[in-house]
Amino acid sequence: MRLDVLNRGYGPGTKLLFALIRLFSRHPVPDAAKLVFYRPEYYGSWAKEFTQEAMRGPSAWSVGDRELMAVFVSQANESAFCIGAHSATAEQAYQDGPKVAAVLAGLESAPVDEGLRATLGMLGKLTREGRVSAEDMRHVLSAGVARQQVEDALAVCTAFNTTNRLADAFGFEVLSSDDFQAGAKYLLKRGYR
């Protein structure tokens, strides 16, 4: 990563934890995980709380739907680390790799219901253009999406607009497909805390 403190600035307990993760998982510790262990009282603890709430807290959206929103926002931001990490997580959550690939290849023809399609389209526009209109929101609501679901989707969008920026600014290392699959398994089992 571009800041040396994020590569080496950890206390002995955290260094030991990273070594144990590498030893037992046989995969590297992803930079996204390292980031939240650096001075966690400043950012990591608070970010984990928000991300957990957005991605795993109560919602009418499934975990798979929210992971798909995460990767869709990441694609709009062209954030390579997050696309890799959350494609793998969405694929495992849905147990359906082709569905995730189809959404990323072209939302209009992807095999998702109209409510999710309209919501993803709105999140993509907000992320790319920085604004959405009341008309855009009426389109989502008229596709059968409840107000609370729109709010929940905006929380996912916010978590990933933050994480995408940090991944690209700090320079998170893009891992192998195998490493991303292992990380996805962890995120589905343990969440973001």
Partner 1 sequence: MPTDDKKRAAYRALEDRILNGEGRASPEQRAGAFSNAGLPPPLDGLVSKVATRPTQVTDADFAAARAAGSSEDELFELVICAAVGQSGRLYDAGLAALADAVADEEAG
Q: Which is nearer to partner 1, 12 or 58 (CB)?
A: 58
Scan residues 73-92 and list those touching partner 1 (CB under 8 A). Answer: 77-79
Distance CA 51, CA 57 (A): 9
Q: Which stretch binds partner 1 (CB under 8 A): 24-32, 90-98, 165-173, 178-186?
A: 165-173
Q: Which is nearer to partner 1, 9 or 144 (CB)?
A: 9
Q: Which is nearer to partner 1, 26 or 147 (CB)?
A: 147
Burial 22-46 (b: 16+ CB within 10 A, else e): eeeeebbbbbbebbbbbeeeeebee
Scan residues 110-129 and list those touching partner 1 (CB under 8 A). Answer: 122, 126-127
Q: Do residues 145 and 118 make contact, with C-beta atoms less than 8 angstroms apart?
A: yes
Residues 15, 22, 26, 138: which binds partner 1 (CB under 8 A)? Answer: 138
Distance CA 95, CA 17 (A): 30
**Residue 145: CB partners within 8 Å, gap ≥ 6?**
115, 118, 119, 153
DSSP count for the chain of H helices, then E strands: 11, 0
Q: Which is nearer to partner 1, 3 or 101 (CB)?
A: 3
Q: How far is the CB of 57 from partner 1 (least distance, A)?
A: 6
Binding status of residue 25 toward partner 1 by CB under 8 A: no
Q: How far is the CB of 98 from partner 1 (least distance, A)?
A: 27
Distance CA 162, CA 186 (A): 21
Distance CA 193, CA 186 (A): 11
Q: Do residues 152 and 53 make contact, with C-beta atoms less than 8 angstroms apart?
A: no
Q: Which is nearer to partner 1, 4 or 24 (CB)?
A: 4
Which residues would be at the binding site for partner 1 (CB under 8 A)? 2-6, 9, 38-39, 41-43, 46-47, 49-50, 53-54, 57-58, 77-79, 122, 126-127, 130-138, 141, 147-148, 150-152, 154-155, 157-159, 161-162, 164-171
